[in-house]
Amino acid sequence: MKEADVLVIGGGPAGLSAGLYAGRARLATVLVEKGFTGGQAATTDRVENYPGFPEGISGPELTERMAEQAKRLEVEFLTAEARALRPEGARWVVETDAEPLRGRAVIIATGARSKRLGVPGEDRLTGRGVSYCATCDGAFFRDRRVHVVGGGDSAVVEALFLTRFAESVTLVHRRSELRATKVLQEEILRHPKVRVAWEAQVVGIEGEDRVEAVRLRYRDGREEQEETDGLFIYVGYEPNTGWLDGAFPLDELGYLITDERLRLPAPGALAAGDVRRKGLRQIVTAVADGAIAAVEAVEYLTVPGHTWGGAE
């Protein structure tokens, strides 16, 4: 079994920052990531609100730089999917789809994933015109028509990104006002390629082998079918906490509940980033979480007599 001082589960900004801080404390640190490094931030084309980059920076570049910084501090990166977490004496064992890992502290930074709409056609046509990642799939829609669902920052940012390729972008939002940040609202509402279908819900996705149309139901009860080539869904996120199988308390939405020092109610276990209950989920707050959690783990492992308070 692989041994470490600190196990970091998740390679998004929170995990990468936790790795960086644990590595700087010269603790043997292993970071486990099941897919690509960078998490959701790496699927964002342009990050314009991370301080220090006045012109913006691409999500993949920003997170690649974070990974590079952690690797320089000898953080070991493993590609594996965490499947379970259990205490073993004063240690934590993480079962993965590869070898198990044992650590003296564990920082859970498994983030959140896109919510599904839950409408007919969605599962069948995912990857065939239905997408949750404009950065990944946008270029396939050059000179095509696309629809985007949602009214938050993600939907608006990604709809704007899609205007680079698509002939037309229809934003479908269930209310008459967007939730997104004002600057983004201004940009989308004046964009010549964008139309907003207000007070509308996507209730079905049609197509044989690929998306051909979406069925919209308006608040007044009217239903309309609109032809389209792609549907990008941005209706929020849900936390990746299922693998923990009830090991720690979750809030009603499934997020981990930490105290303000990001401790979970078991010595040596912490949570950082989007996976935990918090007010603001941004890259800047995720990296802050990673730092706080790692410094707490360092104290736990290196300061004699350090005690572990329970979560709130």
Which residue of the set 123, 136, 245, 251 is catalytic?
136
Site string for ligand NAP, 47-66 (x = CB under 6 A): --x-----------------
The rounded distance, in Å, linking the Cα atoms of 265 and 261 is 11
- 5 catalytic? Reply is no
Question: Which is nearer to ligand NAP, 236 or 254 (by Cβ)?
Answer: 236
Assess whether 137 carries a catalytic annotation: yes
Q: Kindly name the residue from 5, 97, 123, 137 that is annotated as catalytic.
A: 137
Q: Which of residues 269-288 bind ligand NAP (CB under 6 A)?
A: 281
Give me the 196-235 binding string for ligand NAP, x by CB under 6 A, dash otherwise.
-----x--------------------------------xx
CA dist 275 and 156 (Å) reads 23
What residues contact 212, with CB distance under 8 A and at least 6 apart? 206, 227, 228, 229
For residue 161, state whether it binds ligand NAP (rule: CB under 6 A).
no
**Contact between 144 and ligand NAP (CB under 6 A)?**
no
Interface with ligand NAP, residue 154, by CB under 6 A: yes
- CA dist., res. 239 & res. 312, Å (int): 19
Q: Give Cα separations from 51 to 45, 67, 171, 273, 291 (angstroms).
A: 16, 18, 29, 17, 16
Closest CB to ligand NAP belongs to which residue? 152
Beta-strand pair 2-9/237-239: unpaired
Cβ distance to ligand NAP smaller for residue 184 or 262: 184
Query: Are 1 and 102 in contact, with CB atoms under 8 Å apart?
Result: yes
97 is catalytic: no
Position 179 contacts ligand NAP (CB under 6 A): yes
Separation of alpha carbons 166 and 225, rounded Å:
19
Q: Are strands 213-218 and 200-206 parallel, antiparallel or unpaired?
A: antiparallel
Active site residues: 133, 136-137
Task: Give contact residues for ligand NAP (rule: CB under 6 A).
Answer: 49, 117, 149-155, 157, 174-175, 179, 201, 234-237, 281
